[in-house]
Structure 1
């Protein structure tokens, strides 16, 4: 009996110790999270260089980041496919901030690798480029893979994969030469947080490429003084997402401010917006099977609405031509 009581007491004591250790680890993690999200001071981004190049800079997250970086006094090289929108965005920024702005007109979906490389290298020649924001991205309506338009798939691959790859390759030599720089790749929760992303397969797969691309080149160049990071937004209220702002869906401006605060810190993959971090934490205990069931139903409904809208437009077009 005494032996049994001894082992029961030992088990009880060990359980308390392990529980206390677990609590301490969780508490320390929470304190670290509070520091990183709310108290950690942002880097002095001008130390990287006086110019920042931003792809996909005329809408959504890219435009918001451009405004935020301009507020820090950084000169901007805006990259986009529409020269009119580039000029309009530049005028908006100049009205609020006294910075220099250059444009590079590129449609990643149409240009060859060689043409892309030459335009980027020509556009940044002679400039002290310290930061690259690879934000350009392309989505598409919820569809099964066999339903997806071949041209759309090709464009998504070129914009989301090749664009980021070749722009990064173009700016790296200058950063290596001066032994400093920062590269930020804008990823997606579809490739990291969700266990799968049905009916958006190509999009999520390209964003998964960005995550691995980031982790790998970070190892290649961290000894060269180049900070490389993949920032993971969940839903953000933009034209591409088409969702209204809510508790867990920030505006592009709110996300842009959070994004800039993280530039230069060591986390290779991060969720810059604090409520996205809370959302990710809440999603972790949900079994993958349940998440997959919900996500499939969610996108099936999106597909249904999209097809109805598409058919309505076709019917309207036919009526106008009759």
Structure 2
């Protein structure tokens, strides 16, 4: 069989053989190698020892609910890191801190948990000063920045004040956290959560998706700027996660993981690629979405947006 194939190849023109070799090389380098690298990263690669790489403390924003809360548990229980939790609600912060200390510290104080109250959407100046005092003297840390807030169904239904607060929450927060934990503090890593809404167009959620695109670009640029100073900046891209922002029911599935499922994947990727979709079904969705032309995705997202807007209006009217 091999002799037949070899004899057949010998009979082909040299230019055709050259094109075939180039095509095979392109297929391997552009498809097979990236696929093997992704399979290793998604299923086989061990998580980094964050305490050894970046220090024993982690700062987690948005730590009272959803992904932020789940990431805090993963960093403390799975990574053995001490935590500084940042959030708007002092009562919730105290409750989460107590839960983490009980679950991860065994009641013996093995994991230290501190809290700082900051409202990213309001006057955050005093909150930032409290944060600066809390991290004073730190030489390294891992920052997990996951601001999230429920969005209305349409921009025109949002008051001007709400729009300013929404932009401040998603834009001012990540930028302020960068200033507070930047080069002067020699923080080891910054892990940010953007959103899959920033990849295609996202009608009726324009402000939210635009702020997530901002986080994506901010993270990529900061990673290039600070890489040689020992600071790794990573932007993670979640698609739908079963949080209160997505659904009050909070039901999960393969494509819509629970916050705990997503956080387990997210922490495994910290310290590696500068941009990634850590939950593997989301990465598969991202790949297939990239195969479709923009006009197909635009039409689909517009259809979904109109349907969800009508459902929201009907719910409000009832």
Unpaired stretches in structure 2, ≥5 consecutive residues: 1-9, 106-110
Residue 106 (structure 1) aligned with residue 112 (structure 2) = no
Query: Which residue of the partner structure matches residue 3 of structure 2?
Result: none
What is the rounded CA distance, in whole Å, between the counterparts of 1:68 and 1:102 in structure 2?
16
What is the rounded CA distance, in whole Å, between the counterparts of 2:150 and 2:14 in structure 1?
58
Query: Which residue of the partner structure matches residue 88 of structure 1?
Result: 95
Query: Which residue of the partner structure matches residue 182 of structure 2?
Result: 172
Mapping of 1:221-232 within 5 angstroms? 221-232=226-237
What is the rounded CA distance, in whole Å, between the counterparts of 1:217 and 1:203 in structure 2?
21
SS of equivalent to 1:229:
strand
Q: TM-score, normalised by structure 2?
A: 0.89
Contact 2:262-2:279 within 8 A present in 1 as well: yes
Query: Which residue of the partner structure matches residue 116 of structure 1?
Result: 127
Give 1:209's match in structure 2, choosing from 214, 222, 228.
214
Query: CA shift at 1:8, angstroms?
Result: 7.7
Query: Which residue of the partner structure matches residue 13 of structure 1?
Result: 17
Kindly tell me: are residues 7 and 156 of structure 1, through their superposed partners in 2, closer, same or farther at Cα, counting changes over 3 Å? Answer: farther
Count of residues in Structure 1 that have an aligned counterpart in Structure 2: 299
What is the rounded CA distance, in whole Å, between the counterparts of 1:24 and 1:269 in structure 2?
23
Query: Which residue of the partner structure matches residue 284 of structure 2?
Result: 278
What is the rounded CA distance, in whole Å, between the counterparts of 2:176 and 2:65 in structure 1?
21
SS of equivalent to 1:284:
helix
What is the rounded CA distance, in whole Å, between the counterparts of 2:18 and 2:158 in structure 1?
57
What is the rounded CA distance, in whole Å, between the counterparts of 2:157 and 2:244 in structure 1?
23
Farther-moved stretch of structure 1 (32-41 vs 117-126): 117-126
Unpaired stretches in structure 1, ≥5 consecutive residues: 1-5, 313-322
Contact 2:138-2:185 within 8 A present in 1 as well: no
Structure 1's consecutive aligned runs of 4 or more residues displaced over 6 angstroms after TM superposition are none
Query: CA shift at 1:126, angstroms?
Result: 3.5
Residue 260 (structure 1) aligned with residue 255 (structure 2) = no
SS of equivalent to 2:182:
helix
Query: Which residue of the partner structure matches residue 320 of structure 1?
Result: none
Farther-moved stretch of structure 1 (239-248 vs 123-132): 123-132
Residue 237 (structure 1) aligned with residue 247 (structure 2) = no
Contact 2:118-2:128 within 8 A present in 1 as well: no
Query: Which residue of the partner structure matches residue 3 of structure 1?
Result: none
Query: CA shift at 1:9, angstroms?
Result: 3.8
Give 1:63's match in structure 2, choosing from 69, 77, 82.
69
Query: Over aligned residues, Cα RMSD in angstroms?
Result: 1.9
Query: CA shift at 1:173, angstroms?
Result: 4.2
Query: CA shift at 1:125, angstroms?
Result: 2.3
